[in-house]
Amino acid sequence: MTGRGLRAASGIAAAAVVLGVAEIVSVPISPDSTPLQAFGAWVVDHTPDGFREWVIGLVGTNDKLLLFVSMGIVAALLAALAGLIERERRPLGSVLFGVFGLLAVIAAVTRPHAAWTWAFPALLGAWAGIALLRNLIRRVTALEEAARAAATPADSAAPQSAASVEADRLAGIEPGAAPDPKAAAAQAERLADVAVERRQVVRGIVTAGAVAAGAGLVGRWFGLRSRDVSGERAEVQLPPPSGPPLAVEPGADLQIPGLSAYLTPNADFYRIDTALTVPQVSRENWSLRIHGMVDREIRLSYADLAQRAPVEKLVTLTCVSNPVGGDLIGNARWLGYRLDELLAEAGPHPDADMVLSRSIDGFTAGSPLAALTDGRDALLAVGMNGEPLPTAHGYPVRMVVPGLYGYVSATKWVTDLEVTRFDRAQAYWTKRGWSEQGPIKTGCRIDTPRGHSTLKPGRITVAGVAWAQHRGIQGVQVRIDQGEWQPARLAAEPSADTWRQWVFDWDASGSGIHTVWARATDGAGETQTAERADVVPDGASGYPSLTIRID
């Protein structure tokens, strides 16, 4: 390896030490306090909207993996640069490390749920990294000098003594004419020494990098594991819902191959959030504060909640980022506590019109106060499909509000409800250009057949789901090519707050490419708009369609 290569590698090894030490230091503090997590969260919060949607369009929900891989590449390039510009006299590389260490400290301590101790991982990491960088660069510089000295011929490198010149003259050797065997041996020895030292420097770099990477991984694993709440979650005994048990009538699920099940299994339920690592919130540490424009501030622990009577309700959640035909929608049975009752105990002021819910990691959603108090089943949910909430879906407590997109209502890991006004507070996505109000638009999806398939002429089952949460679905119509809109058959509707399955028998004749369209009409008789809209700022619209080849 050349001197430049060694310098660049020293920078990368030093960066590995920064990150590795930070991971270890973060174990007793928080896994979210490390430079990679803090920068990652900053990037998530500051990614321009158009770019975010473009990336998600490309890589889907692998966006978080892509973020970490890109950050790793940028860190390695910057670290190599730092190694190249580091000099003993003018330690520019160390300065670069220092600047990034400082930025990482700022990124960490300004996270919404950070404590001042969150400064330590980046601080100690940067300190260790700079120490290693300075040490390695000193050795590389010394090595380069030794190599240069050893490479120059012996007689010009070390002027011969007068005596040895005299000896050469007596021996008939012209000065500098023939190599002095002793000097040549000495040069060979110096070159061998340089080679040994080079191997040691390379070994030092590789060892530091590998140990740091290993320690970092162990630290991350340990930090996550020591906070992991899946053990306590498995032991939660959900209270039985008050009232008669919720039974989903069999007619709600047509059991057609390829059609989404009426209830979405937890494992298949879409997941959308800004959390780089799933927050691990123990029931012991959880509490909810209801405050702001209220007569009485309320603080509830999980044990306080357990004193109350829960209800079980069917609600279909939908993400505002769900494109026409997309799968960011799912239906579940939620066990929870009525938000209208809790809010009534706090006593919202008459001029309040919004509830800003906040999660443990700082995400916020702004729901119309009316939607939480108008009698619909707005819940503080603890159970999902008969299980405690999965950690990725908000364990131990989240919000579920029928009829509103998730970004304005479905706060997971919720710990704070502030009763306020839309003209006083802004929620996470509203600050980023999404609509303040997020009622779910009436929509539908064709689940089967799959688009672009080739099918035989004859009867083809076209089936899907339709939704207009809290208004219900009155009808679904299907159109083939430019034909008439024809009614689909509807499955039972156990709740107006959920999606509804539909099926249409298509007698396909005539070979060629056909387009199948669908559209839904809500419980108020309003048919979904044909006008195509993108997901930004308040949800996609337009009829779903697919093309089928009949052959």
Ligand X SMILES: Nc1nc2c(c(=O)[nH]1)N[C@H]1C(S)=C(S)[C@@H](COP(=O)(O)O)O[C@H]1N2
Where on the chain is the footprint of Mo ion (CB under 5 A)?
272, 319, 406-407
Note whether 411 binds ligand X by CB under 6 A.
yes
The amino acid present at 199, given as its one-letter code, is: R
Select the residue interacting with ligand X from 407, 434, 517, 543 (CB under 6 A). Answer: 407
User: How far apart are CB 60 and ligand X at their closest, in Å?
Assistant: 14
- H or E segment at 292? strand 287-292
> Crossing angle of helices 92-109/35-46, nearest 10°?
70
Give min distance, CB of 409 to ligand X, in A: 8
412 binds ligand X (CB under 6 A): yes
Residues 61-80, interacting with ligand X (CB under 6 A): none
Opening angle at CA 32, ends 92 and 367, nearest 5: 125
Q: Which residues of 498-523 are buried (b: 16+ CB within 10 A; e: fewer)?
A: bbbbbbbebebeeeeebebbbbbbbe
How many residues interact with ligand X (rule CB under 6 A)? 18
Contact between 319 and ligand X by CB under 6 A: the answer reads: yes
DSSP state of 172: T
Q: Give the residue with the Cβ less far from ligand X, 64 or 349.
A: 64
Cβ 53 to ligand X shortest distance, Å: 13
Among 190, 313, 393, 471, binds ligand X (CB under 6 A): 393
Interacting span for ligand X (CB under 6 A) from 12-20, 171-179, 290-298, 403-411: 403-411
Of 227-235, 371-379, 408-416, 445-453: span binding ligand X (CB under 6 A): 408-416
Residue nearest to ligand X (CB): 406
Tokens in use for 251?
Answer: 């007619």
363 binds ligand X (CB under 6 A): yes
Report in angstroms how near the CB of residue 538 gets to Mo ion at its nearest: 12
CA of 535: how far to CAs of 55, 438, 451, 538, in Å?
A: 14, 11, 21, 6
For 398-455, the DSSP string reads EEE-TTB-GGGT--SSEEEEEEE-TTT---TTTTTT--S--BPPPEEEEEESPTT-EE
Q: How far is CA 354 from CA 15, 36, 232, 469, in A?
A: 46, 35, 34, 20
Q: Which is nearer to ligand X, 15 or 319 (CB)?
A: 319
For 30-67, b/e burial (b = at least 16 CB within 10 A) is: bbbbbbbbbbbbbebbeeeeeeebebbeeeeeeebeeb
Give, as one character, the DSSP assignment of residue 86: B
Chain residues 109-138 in contact with ligand X, contact rule CB under 6 A: none
**Partner whose footprint covers residue 448, from ligand X, Mo ion, none (CB < 5 to 8 Å by kind):** none
Report the DSSP pairing between strands 545-550 and 489-490: unpaired
Residue showing tokens 């590789």: 206
- Near ligand X by CB under 6 A: residue from 126, 410, 460, 465: 410
Taking the least distance from each CB to ligand X, the nearer of 187 and 364 is 364
CB under 6 A: which stretch of 51-59, 173-181, 265-273, 289-297 binds ligand X?
265-273
Applying the rule CB under 6 A, the residues between 181 and 200 that interact with ligand X are none
Residue 435's binding partner among Mo ion, ligand X, none (Cβ under 5 to 8 angstroms by kind) is none
We find the least distance from the C-beta atom of residue 405 to Mo ion, in angstroms, to be: 6
514 binds, among ligand X, Mo ion, none (CB under 5 to 8 A by kind): none
Q: Is 359 in the site for ligand X (CB under 6 A)?
A: yes
Interface pattern 272-291 for ligand X (x via CB under 6 A): xxxx----------------
Amino acid sitting at position 59? V
First-residue to last-residue Cα distance in the chain: 63
CB of 123 to Mo ion, least distance (A): 36
Residues 532, 526: contact at Cβ < 8 Å?
no
Least separation in angstroms between residue 41's CB and ligand X is 11
Give 34 or 411: the residue with its C-beta nearer to Mo ion: 411
The residues of the shown chain that bind ligand X, judged by CB under 6 A, are 269-275, 317, 319, 359, 363, 393, 406-407, 410-413
